[in-house]
Amino acid sequence: MYASSLYLEPGTVDIGNIDESQAGGVVEVKGTALNVSKSSGHLFMDLKGSTGSILVVDFDSEASINEGDRIDVIGNIELYEGKIEIISRRIKKN
């Protein structure tokens, strides 16, 4: 049962509804990439949705994401230095 749960796709969540109580959970969010930067293969961006924005980090990124791209992100909700961020598992352009 546990193994099969690793492959289930999470439901889409509005960025503004993500809070600290969901840390450790997996979500799918959609929005526009802003403040995109890449350093040593790591991708950092703010993802802006209709209800807020959140930092997205992709530590092993081969994705070619540009400022203003509409994207879908599946990732883990984490807390880093008191702030909520998503560590991506998958990034897909729309």
- Domain 2-93 classified CATH 3.40.50.970? no
pTM of the model: 0.86
Q: How far is CA 3 from CA 6, 7, 53, 74, 80, in A?
A: 5, 8, 31, 18, 27
Can you give the pLDDT at residue 9? Answer: 63
Q: Chain centroid to CA 87: how far?
A: 6
Can you give the pLDDT at residue 7? Answer: 52
What residues does each domain of the chain span? Answer: 2-93
Question: What phi and psi values does residue 15 have, to the nearest 5 degrees?
Answer: -55, -40
CB 35 within 8 A of CB 45: yes
28-73 pLDDT tens trace? 999 999 999 998 889 999 999 999 999 999 998 777 899 999 999 9
For tokens 């509409």, name the residue: 70
Distance CA 65, CA 83 (A): 23
